[in-house]
Amino acid sequence: MDTTATPSGWNLFVARDDLSTTKLVDAPIPEVRDGEVLLRVDRVGLTANNVTYAALGDSFRYWEFFPAPAGWGIVPLWGFAEVVASRVDGVEPGSRHYGYLPCASHLLARPGRVDERGFRDASPHRKTLPTPYSAYALTTGDLAYEADRENLQILYRPLFWTSFMLADWIVDNAWLGARTALLSSASSKTAYGAAFLLQGQGHEVVGLTSRRNLAFTESLGCYDRVLTYEDVSQLSPAAPILYADFAGDESLSATLRTHLGDALVHHVVVGVTTQQPGPAGKLADTGPGMFFAPDQMRKRIDDWGRAGLDRRFADAWQRFAPVVEGWVDVVHSNGPQALEQVWHEVQSGRTAPRTGHVIAL
């Protein structure tokens, strides 16, 4: 497909039953009707988090945000888009928004609740989907936006929302009675974001990682200890442990249950870096249950109001961003073919932990 030779748009489809199979196809640019706006997707990030969306696409309804032909899905990405046409008061052409975007050239949205912070996509097919994924933040009204840190925002902000809400959920629930928080896939961006926030609160924060990522994970300085997966026997079953499972690896979970016994007081699945869907619902006691950040977001909006939650997140982000700049090597690429290539690299697990892919479209 030659995107320079045609004014048409495009979509990148992923086979829902085989995430390594993709196809890049031309697509007509949508016509804008009353009540709609058209956004041109500008710059996006692609991380293991996006692979998680695909792996959990059915159980958590991620495939439903951007409808696709039967058997195919459009993977959600986070990034920036520009309004190129608008038939909605208060949403101006040329305005720049951050949010949940498709692997595509354009997004047609039906804004609801338009204000100085942006808008929420109220398209009919999103009516029953989690609302945090339908918010499009106007850069001029976003407390956490920093123009010189757009790459970090693309790569880390959606992950850091999960990190922020997970750390808040753990603290809000008195660490589920644990003295130690154990995080697998500790070299992953979401895991070490949570560790950064949990550190220094009087509890031990321990990371589990592969041998090849051990030195990198130790260099972050946000874990009290880092162990390889082969060394889990060094964990003491004498003190209660909360296991935040970013890997979704059942064999590892079974090893931990056997070794720790009753000391494993809670097991919550946060991600599936192994690409095997974890439990879809929440279970009681030691679980495992699936952590779903929008649930804790809704609770904190009730507690603090949306403005209060945004302020607290912005404060945490502004502490984290200057630190994380030294932890990531941003790799830039351009165009839909590059997006497809990066998807295959990330989906296959070939991306180094320091690498952050930003694709200009």
Q: How confident is the model at residue 128 (pLDDT cuts 50, 70, 90)?
A: very high
pLDDT for residue 271 is more than 70: no
pLDDT for residue 78 is more than 90: yes
pLDDT for residue 225 is more than 60: yes
Give the CATH H-level superfamily of domain 9-142+328-360: Medium-chain alcohol dehydrogenases, catalytic domain (3.90.180.10)
Q: Quick check: 134 and 167 in contact, CB under 8 A?
A: no
pLDDT of amino acid 56: 87
Q: Which of 210, 161, 168 is nearest to 188 (CA)?
A: 210
Least confident of 62-66, 131-135, 328-332, 339-343: 131-135
Which residues sit opposite 45 in a β-bridge? 78, 358
Q: How confident is the model at residue 288 (pLDDT cuts 50, 70, 90)?
A: low
pLDDT of amino acid 7: 57
pLDDT of amino acid 247: 86
Q: How confident is the model at residue 272 (pLDDT cuts 50, 70, 90)?
A: low
pLDDT for residue 315 is more than 50: yes
Euclidean distance between CA atoms 15 and 74, whole angstroms: 9
Pick from 52-61, 76-85, 149-158, 285-294 the range whose average pLDDT is largest.
76-85
pLDDT tens digits, residue range 99-122? 999 999 999 999 998 999 999 999
Residues of the chain with pLDDT > 90, as a percent, come to 80
Cβ neighbours, 10 Å, residue 115: 10
- According to CATH, where is 3.40.50.720 located in the chain? 158-295
- According to CATH, where is 3.90.180.10 located in the chain? 9-142+328-360
Euclidean distance between CA atoms 267 and 290, whole angstroms: 9
Euclidean distance between CA atoms 158 and 152, whole angstroms: 10
Q: How confident is the model at residue 235 (pLDDT cuts 50, 70, 90)?
A: very high
Q: What is the mean pLDDT of residues 155-174?
A: 94
Euclidean distance between CA atoms 163 and 167, whole angstroms: 6
pLDDT for residue 61 is more than 80: yes
Euclidean distance between CA atoms 12 and 1, whole angstroms: 11
Class of domain 158-295: alpha beta
